[in-house]
Amino acid sequence: MNNHSFGFSIHATDGHARLGTLYTSNGIIDTPAFMPVGTSATVKAMTPESVESTGAQIILSNTYHLMLRPTAERIHALGGLHQFMNWHRPILTDSGGYQVMSLAKLRKISENGVIFQSHIDGSRHELTPERSINIQYLLGSDISMCFDECTPFPVDEYVARESMLLSMRWAKRSKEAFIQREGYGLFGIVQGGVYKSLREESCSKLLDIGFDGYAIGGLAVGEGQALMFKTLDVTNQFLSNDKPRYLMGVGKPPDIVGAVQRGVDMFDCVLPTRSGRNGQVFTPNGPMNLNNACHKDDSRPIDSECNCYTCAHYSRSYLNHLLKCKEILGAVLLTWHNLHFYQTLMKNLRKAIHEQTLTQFVEQFHLTYGVSEQNDTQA
């Protein structure tokens, strides 16, 4: 399979975990993979070159934000999203469904789609499955996502089922609107809340439609790790083994490790970038807040074992100083370290699967990182 055909190959497994390669029009992605989030055609505080230097092979951008500004039509006229933002590796775009639910004002959901007011200027817009897929086509996304309704949590089973069935009808329309072309793929999104029967029904309907990959939606919305893992165990058994699986919006390093053990191949989350901008960094021993005064005289790097640009050149003392002075460079350097930490974690997970040592790796990870994080990683 060449780099210009869309497809997925599994090279090794360890338990339910899979080591694979995802092939797209703009290159390959080694899986399990973490996608830095570039909401508005930029990974905040980072150049594309610095993102690539961390080991990232794919980023995620946002349909909702880009349709509002600068508009998909403008990006298309300027050569597409890859050219526009100078990122020439794969890009996955979400469908906008989650942002319509979480950010937009005065939204009205119908069978056709969602009518909403922009959170930016109050302007009125309509997002349908067809329009969402068209926007992603104009952007030139290597991986497009079906338009769906993100089921809230907690929610009773009847409401969860009605929401899931609407998303499945939208999934069919998304597939029909998607323009098949070499190297580009469309993922369906499993919904159904935390209800096993609904997850099974959702998987069945999506498999009948047929997609290039399957995302697991509606998790990491407040249900907690134990329930998320239980729902993952339920969901993955109903998905085809030969297609990539993407857990949307996850997350914390222990969540990623546990999800990889359960057969998930792809992740995205704003956590490493948002945390970096707020002074929090990730280390093998867990999160660390560099705003704290204990770092102001500390000449050590964030992590003496880390070979990222930040740890190679800067001390905790200097980083603490940048944060206290609210200097932009602080956000740059901390984000750089965090993205490198996440990519290193993924690289180590891939190595462990290849060497059939995942169980030992996970045990050592929890021993070092701590199963229960006492720090607020959403800071």
Which residue do the tokens 């933002």 mark? 85
Predicted local confidence at residue 4, as pLDDT: 66
Reported confidence tier of residue 229, pLDDT bands at 50, 70, 90: very high
Cα separation, 175 vs 169, in Å, equals: 10
Active-site residue set: 94, 268
- Rounded percentage of the chain residues whose pLDDT exceeds 90: 89
pLDDT(371) > 60: no
Please give the C-alpha separations between residue 130 and each of 7, 135, 150, in angstroms, as whole numbers. 24, 9, 17
- Rounded percentage of the chain residues whose pLDDT exceeds 70: 96
Reported confidence tier of residue 101, pLDDT bands at 50, 70, 90: confident
CB atoms within 10 A of CB 20: 21
Question: Tens digit of pLDDT for each residue in 231-249?
Answer: 999 999 999 999 999 999 9
Question: Tens digit of pLDDT for each residue in 184-202?
Answer: 999 999 999 999 999 999 9
Predicted local confidence at residue 378, as pLDDT: 33
Domains of the chain in sequence order: 7-267 (3.20.20.105), 276-369 (no CATH)
Determine the average pLDDT of the residues in 100-106. Answer: 78
Question: Tens digit of pLDDT for each residue in 137-194?
Answer: 999 999 999 999 988 899 999 999 999 999 999 999 999 999 999 999 999 999 999 9
Which residue do the tokens 């499955």 mark? 129
Question: Tens digit of pLDDT for each residue in 305-356?
Answer: 999 999 999 999 999 999 999 999 999 999 999 999 999 999 999 999 999 9
Task: For strands 105-109 and 27-31, give the pairing.
Answer: unpaired
Reported confidence tier of residue 373, pLDDT bands at 50, 70, 90: very low
pLDDT(43) > 60: yes
Phi, psi (deg, nearest 5) at residue 171:
-65, -40
Predicted local confidence at residue 73, as pLDDT: 98
Please give the C-alpha separations between residue 112 and each of 12, 25, 84, 232, 360, in angstroms, as whole numbers. 42, 31, 31, 30, 49
